[in-house]
Structure 1
């Protein structure tokens, strides 16, 4: 699977069954989100959600949302309303099929988000790293951010090891 050509394209609702399969193989505990939650995020921000695939199957996905850095989006919520004032692109979820890890799928998905910063006129990205993924995100230019009590309350829903991170872009 790692030698196949990977194509990144916008996510469609018809991709969600495969997205849920990859999500189930990638996360443990309370992290996996319902189809309703993922559908809400896709419908709220269809231009910033992508999938990577080869000629046979989906290899990975990313959900990103134009957002406010004051708090991460609710985890596993059936609703997703984009804030009226946005100041960042929030990378909500990026996962790669276990059989496709170790290649360039994750990096390709991440790179697909970079043009969105110009599109939305933003200069920073935020995310919540879970399940010991902060080292991957640090390689992409993210750094841990000091959080406030309000953000800490929301981060707890992402798991004990959740790390709120930011990546600034150069203007």
Structure 2
């Protein structure tokens, strides 16, 4: 039995989320504590942590939106009422927990929680050379972004790719 569990993120977890973000991301894409807190308030139902013996080791924050819509880096977001896509905005694992397969573990958990009858896709922006990781989970690069969405994608430092996966069986 694995010592790791996934559970809903709580307000008390935000200090750990902020710490893990600073471990996992380069400075150019670190988001402010205020933005992280506001996003959690807006999307607590699609925010999870993975923990081991009460210690938060990673997190995933997402929201409901529409296919082909990219959140600009550093902006707040909330669920869209007519959403067809679960957008995974932020996934990070603490340095101490790297190598345990927690990235795929929390993604699988999150995808099992979203309403597949209403949502047809999952999407994300791949950063920091994570494209191969997402491809192993079945995501592919989505090339048909509108110009405004390509501009949003360009707000991310380094090579960034908008990637999608069908949720339909």
Same fold (TM over 0.5): yes
Deviates more, 1:65-74 or 1:13-22: 65-74
| Deviation (angstroms), 1:119 | 5.8
**CA RMSD, Structure 1 to Structure 2 (Å):** 1.8
Q: Secondary structure at the match of 1:110?
A: helix
**For residues 18-167 of structure 1, what are the structure 2 equivalents within 5 Å?**
18-77=16-75, 79-118=76-115, 121-146=118-143, 147-167=145-165
Distance 1:91 1:9, change over 3 A: same
Structure 1: distance between partners of 2:21 and 2:117: 27
Q: Structure 2: any 5+ residue segments left out of the alignment?
A: none
Deviates more, 1:51-60 or 1:68-77: 68-77
Kept in 2, the 8 Å contact 1:23–1:32? The answer is: yes
Q: Structure 1: any 5+ residue segments left out of the alignment?
A: none
* Residues 109-147 of structure 1 deviation map (CA, whole Å, 9 limit, x = unaligned): 101112233266212101000000011000110000103
Q: Secondary structure at the match of 2:135?
A: helix
Kept in 1, the 8 Å contact 2:87–2:123? The answer is: yes
TM, length-normalised to structure 1: 0.90
Structure 2: distance between partners of 1:81 and 1:22: 22
